[in-house]
A and B are shown apart, each in its own frame.
Chain A
Amino acid sequence: MTEKIKAGPFEVLCLTGARCLEDKTVVFVGTGLPMLASLFAQRTWAPNLSLIFEGGSLGPILWMGLPLSVGDIRAGTRACMVKGLCAVFEGQQRGWSDYAFIGGAEIDTYGNINSTCFGEYEKPKVRFPGSGGAGAMAANSDRIIAIMALEKRRFREKVYYITSLGFGDGEPDYRWKAGVHGRGPYRVVTDVAMFGFDVGNTNKMVLLEYHPTLSVEQVQERCELKLTISPDVKPMVLPTQEQLKLMVTEVDPERYFLGKTVEA
């Protein structure tokens, strides 16, 4: 009998992220965790999921394994088209992609995401890499799936800098006035909870699923922002041994993500 593989935070992130991806759709994949979850989805229930990577590839088959960059050769192999950044972002602006799949450093109640800085702009307390493609994806893919570990400092009422636009101030016409195309946030995936949004009403983040080892109150304690709880809130599905085995052997064998821990 082989030893059981433990479902740590990144294994849960991988599965939960992938669960948000429907087969036969187009997803614009950001760097980091979205690449992990998209590869897992493509290897399991979504073989007809078309991926777009901002380096310029459309519809690649990730046979070489986990790309380590959205411009990686691995993100372009067996693609239907490989061009450059302008080509895929303009396609996205035209309406190619159903989902933007992005990460970030912090997120607020309305799904606005910061990946630029904490503190002042000119001399920040903490400077992050910057938008990359996420700002463009959040603006113009039809809907946004965000993925990040749930840490108290990351889930705040207001973020320091809005890099990837969610619902703005929550007003129904905010995105219209912003001049962007997409409908906005759809899911926020974390290691211990999955959130949706009260779209068309308050546009606020709503708790849909929580990790079975935690209670709803414990999830709330892990967020600075005040959560709305869905009436249909339920425990999350955790990865099976078979799924974990696939993750460890094929999706991330070099362990760039898997097996790592998260500070609560």
Chain B
Amino acid sequence: MDLDKKFAEVGIPLGKKADEEKLPYVHVVEGQVPYKSKHRIPSGETANPKEGLHSDIYKISEIQQHYKERPYLWWGPNPDEARAIKTKENKFLYDKRMTQSEAVKKFIRPGINLGVAGFVNTRCPFSIVWTIVKEALCNKTIQATDMTLSFQSQSLCVEWLLGAMLLDDSRVSVKRVELAWQAFEVIGSGPMWTHCVQSGMIEVDDYTNYGMSVRFKAAYMGIPYVPVRDHGGADFEVTNRGVMTKCPFTGRNVYVLPACHPDVAIAHVTAADLYGNCRIFGQTLTCEEILGASTVGIVSCEELISNDAIRNYPNLTLIPFLSVHAVSPQKYGGYPGAVWGYHWFDMDFLREWRATGLELRKAGNMDPLKKYYDKYFYNCDTWEDFLAVIGYKRLAQARELERGQRVILD
């Protein structure tokens, strides 16, 4: 089928170039000014504390004794800035295919809030994170410094970034993390995460998995905050940037969370067309919301499918082209995690990282970490080289263990 001709018939521009000036502006504000401090313990604002502004957490919280209240800051674009950026960008269907390396060089810069999609080790953007580390740490073509990371639950992707920071913080560094969870589930804690937080290297803001997911959703919805029925009464109320308020309709206490707009979001999806319309099979996680919330969306995909296929089943499009700015086809882009329809986890690979990290955290030994990055980053020019180090046997085994879940590509 001649796609070009077919598209011409229905008037769809194919392969048209984006107006460079209208590419999304990756917003980084130095030294933001807090616009108000957070309401915590009421100071005469409510006569009856039972009616508003906080639960009884301050009566029992242990953590408040060791916690200094932080002024409120948006850790990425605020809702008005995010809206302004969105309205200005190119909105036509243009060809967004580029290599991961091109995408990373185009959009990653110091000081950004990087939203990481996927969940723990399921369909996480491994090849994109690998490319960020490769370009920043090994090739020194970009600087991925002073980053804020935002995600619900992550694992090896974030560990890789933190490990790179420990090797050379002039190339890769993370200053803040807003999250719900960071570890390896059944095989244990994330050694770099534990090391970096316990040594006070990174500032942390904790939410629940729903909290982080719905903060991205609020951002995607274009609203500044969202009421939730969790966090309240727990120590999140003391430490995070949400606020207890009173529902104007029921009069009950309700906790509200600020929207979370990353500057750049990265995701690995099942299939995408050249404009960035994406399908996801298996758990969709928070990919739709993170990409929708972000200024720039970078996706890698197992399969590049035609726009014709997208238009056959438009209901299957989970992420529309308006949320995506770079599309990089990449087989095994979610390896060593699990990708529905393609492969299961490589548990041995995950254990290898944990053993490497524990050597550093417990014994202070940097050598295993250096060797790890030599083996998997410095000595590999591309993601395919990385996969070659893993070897066909293990890739085939991961595929076998997946047991053939179904996906629709036509």
Contact = CB atoms under 8 A, between A and B. Distances in A.
Interface of A: 31-32, 53-57, 64, 68-73, 75-77, 82-86, 89-90, 93, 112, 116-117, 119-136, 138-140, 158-165, 168-169, 171, 174-181, 256-257
Contact of B233 (A57, A178, A256): A178
A153 B342 CA distance: 43
B200 A85 contact: no
Contact of A129 (B61, B68, B190, B203): B190
A256 B186 contact: yes
Contacts of A168: 55-57, 60, 233
Interface string B280-318: 001111111100000000000000000000000000000
A69 B118 CA distance: 12
Interface centre among B153, B208, B289, B340 (most CB of A within 10 A): B208
B63 A131 contact: no
B289 A131 contact: no
Interface in B175-230: 179-183, 185-187, 189-190, 193-194, 197-200, 203-204, 206-211, 213-214, 217, 228-230
B230 A135 contact: yes
B261 interface: no
21 contacts: A56-B283, A56-B285, A71-B338, A72-B345, A73-B402, A82-B284, A86-B213, A89-B213, A89-B214, A123-B198, A123-B200, A127-B197, A129-B182, A130-B181, A131-B180, A135-B180, A136-B211, A162-B57, A163-B236, A168-B55, A177-B233
A234 to B, nearest CB: 32
Given A76-B340, A121-B63, A136-B208, A180 B229 contact: yes
B403 A162 contact: no
B282 A76 contact: yes
Given A139-B229, A168-B233, A119 B282 contact: no
Contact of B55 (A72, A131, A161, A179): A179
B67 A122 contact: yes
A85 B286 contact: yes
B232 A85 contact: no
Given A77-B405, A82-B284, A132-B180, A54 B244 contact: no
Contact of A131 (B67, B208, B228, B402): B208
Contacts of B217: 86
A112 B236 CA distance: 13
Contacts of A176: 252-253
B272 interface: no
A165 B233 contact: yes
Contacts of B60: 158, 162, 168-169
A78 to B, nearest CB: 10
Interface centre among A73, A169, A175 (most CB of B within 10 A): A73
Contact of A178 (B67, B203, B232): B232
A109 to B, nearest CB: 11
A82 B208 CA distance: 20
B159 to A, nearest CB: 12
B66 interface: yes
A121 B130 CA distance: 30
Interface stretch (B8-16, B79-87, B119-127): B119-127
A180 B119 contact: no
B402 to A, nearest CB: 6
Given A68-B345, A136-B210, A179 B181 contact: no
Given A32-B186, A127-B194, A127-B198, A133 B59 contact: no
Nearest to B256: A179
B274 interface: no
Given A85-B119, A129-B182, A177-B55, A71 B230 contact: no
Interface in B143-171: 152-153
B255 interface: yes
A133 B210 contact: yes
Contact of A89 (B200, B209, B338): B209
B6 interface: no
Contact of B197 (A90, A124, A162): A124
Contact of B253 (A32, A123, A179): A179
Nearest to A114: B235
A257 to B, nearest CB: 8
A178 B208 contact: no
Contact of A84 (B55, B199, B232, B286): B286
Contact of B207 (A57, A124, A131): A131
B233 A180 contact: yes
A125 B198 contact: yes
Contacts of A181: 229
Contacts of A178: 55-57, 232-234, 253
B229 A179 contact: yes
Interface string B362-401: 0000000000000000000000000000000000000000
Nearest to B54: A177
B231 interface: yes
B50 interface: yes
A164 B189 CA distance: 19
Contact of B66 (A32, A120, A140): A120
Given A119-B66, A169-B56, A179 B233 contact: yes
B209 A161 contact: no
A131 B347 contact: no
Given A69-B122, A174-B56, 16 more contacts: A68-B186, A73-B340, A76-B340, A83-B284, A123-B200, A124-B198, A131-B207, A133-B208, A135-B208, A135-B230, A139-B229, A139-B231, A140-B230, A162-B234, A175-B233, A176-B252
A32 B180 contact: no
